Amino acid sequence: MAEGGPPQPDGLMSMMPALLIILGLFYFLILRPQKNKEQTFRSMVDNLKEKDRIVTIGGIHGVVTGIVRDSEIVTVRIDESSGTKIRIGTSAIARVVTDEDKTEK
């Protein structure tokens, strides 16, 4: 042990700035966009109304015919000719099809 040498920096304190930068990047690149996506999805489901066209996460296309907000259940008509309907949870909705989506295809 050299008595006249420079003091050794504490290992944790020397890594603290790098750790804070990594945590900051993690927040801004992963957590914040995910939170915004979840908030956008939640507002989409809250604003859902009858006659909206939706696509489920399973790829089923249909038209909303009824909404039970308390139970988070949506009734969707999937066949125009026979009037076949299914009930799904709001978490199964992938997106609401808008007029812009229809014209792009």
Average pLDDT over residues 38-42: 90
Least confident span in 23-27, 28-32, 78-82, 101-105: 101-105
Domain spanning 49-104, CATH architecture: Roll (2.30)
For residue range 55-65, what is the model confidence (pLDDT) as tens digits? 999 999 999 99
Question: Structural domain boundaries of the chain?
Answer: 11-47, 49-104
pLDDT bucket at 14, cuts 50 / 70 / 90: confident
Question: What pLDDT is attached to residue 85?
Answer: 96
Q: Give the helix/strand (H/E) hosting 11.
A: helix 11-26
Distance CA 34, CA 31 (A): 5
Would you state the torsion angle of the CA atoms of residues 41, 42, 43, 46, taken in this order, to the nearest 10 degrees? Answer: 120
Q: Do 43 and 57 contact (CB within 8 A), yes or no?
A: no
CA distance 47 to 57: 18
